[in-house]
Amino acid sequence: LDQSWLQGRSWFGGMQMALAMKAARRYGESEAPIRSVHASFIAPVLHGAPVRATAHALRKGRSATQIRASLDQGEQRCFDCTAILGADRPSEMAHDARSATKSSPERALRFDYRPGVIPNFVQHYDMRWASGRPPFSGATDPTATIFARPIAEHVRYDESAFIALTDVIPPPILSVMRTPAPASSMNCALELIAPQAVYGSRQWIRFETEVHDARYGYAWQSSRLYAEDGTLLAVAHQAVAVFS
C-alpha cells in the first residue's frame, strides 16, 4: 500500500481488517462466508515497514470455524481479530430487516478530500451526507445517513473490498466539533449479514449511523449498512478515541 492509504501515520483500519481476513482465508481452511469479525487496532501499522499477516483456526465445527488473525511489524502486534466463518444451514428462521428508506446520494452533500485535514485514504472513496453533517461542522446531533462507494470505476465489491468499506466513514461524533481533531478507532465488531448481495457491483452503500454516548475522550457508535435495494448488509459497532 502506498501513502495514499494512510490514516494519520497508520494504514487505514479497513485495509487492516481486509488483509487479516485474506490471511484467515488462506490459513483457516474454510470457504464458508465470514459472519462476524471482532477486531482490535492495537498499534499503528506504519508505512514502509514490512507487515506479517498470520492466522490459525481456533476451532473447526461442522458448520462454523473460528479463526484468529493478526498483523505484526517486527515484535509489535499491531492488529488482532477473531472471525467466525459459518456455512449456510437449513433453518425455519426468517426475519428480513430490509430498509424502506428512499434517500438518494445524488442530492446528498459531498464530502471532499482536503489534504492535511482529512486522512489520506478518503481520496479513494466518494462519501455523501444525506442527513446529518460532515466532521467539524458544529452539528447538534451526530446521527447521520451517509452514502459511500469507491471512486475508482474499475473497483467491484468482493469480500476484501466490502470489509474495507465498512470502516470508511468518519466517526460521527466528529460532526459536533467545530475544529479539526484526530480520532482513532480502538476496536470494531463487524457482523456480516448479507454482503454477497452487492459483490460484483460498485453500488452506493448507505450507512445509518448513531452515537450511543461520548465522554472522557471516547465515543461509542454503531452503523447499519444497506444496499441500494434496502438489503441489510452488515452492522458495525466501534469504540473511538478522539484527541481533542
Residue-wise pLDDT tens digits, 99-125: 767 688 998 999 988 888 889 999 999
| Residue 60 belongs to domain spanning | 1-86
Residue-wise pLDDT tens digits, 197-228: 999 999 999 999 999 999 999 999 999 999 99
Between β-strands 76-86 and 34-41, what pairing exists: parallel, antiparallel or unpaired? antiparallel
Note whether 128 and 242 are same-domain residues: yes
Note whether 75 and 196 are same-domain residues: no
Asked if residue 214 belongs to a domain, the reply is yes
Note whether 7 and 75 are same-domain residues: yes
Asked if residue 51 belongs to a domain, the reply is yes
**Which cell goes with 189?**
465488531
Distance of CA 50 to the CA centre of its chain: 23
Note whether 199 and 224 are same-domain residues: yes
CATH of the domain at 31: 3.10.129.10
Note whether 80 and 134 are same-domain residues: no
Q: Where are the beta strands (DSSP E) in the chain?
A: 6-7, 10-11, 34-41, 52-60, 64-73, 76-86, 109-110, 125-131, 144-150, 183-185, 187-192, 205-215, 218-226, 232-242
- Which of 86, 118, 142 terminates a domain? The answer is 86
Nearest to 16 by CA among 36, 43, 48: 43
CA–CA distances in Å: residue 161 to residues 18, 24, 90, 188, 225 = 7, 15, 28, 17, 14
When divided into structural domains, the chain yields a total of 2
What contacts 33, CB < 8 A, 6 or more positions away? 85, 86, 87, 88, 192, 196
Note whether 181 and 211 are same-domain residues: yes
Note whether 75 and 168 are same-domain residues: no
Alpha helices, DSSP H only, in 130-206?
Answer: 159-165
Note whether 73 and 132 are same-domain residues: no
Note whether 7 and 45 are same-domain residues: yes
Altogether, the residues listed in the chain come to a count of 244
Note whether 15 and 75 are same-domain residues: yes
pLDDT in tens, the chain (244 residues): 899 999 999 999 999 999 999 999 988 778 899 999 999 999 999 999 999 999 999 999 989 999 999 999 999 999 999 999 999 888 888 777 777 676 889 989 999 888 888 899 999 999 999 999 999 999 999 999 999 999 999 999 999 999 999 999 999 999 999 998 889 999 999 999 999 999 999 999 999 999 999 999 999 999 999 999 999 999 999 999 999 8
Nearest to 233 by CA among 154, 130, 163, 128: 163
Note whether 68 and 123 are same-domain residues: no
In a 3-state reduction of DSSP, which class is residue 34?
Answer: strand
Asked if residue 137 belongs to a domain, the reply is yes
Asked if residue 93 belongs to a domain, the reply is no
**Whole-number pLDDT of residue 91:** 84
* Pair 242, 171: CB distance under 8 Å: yes
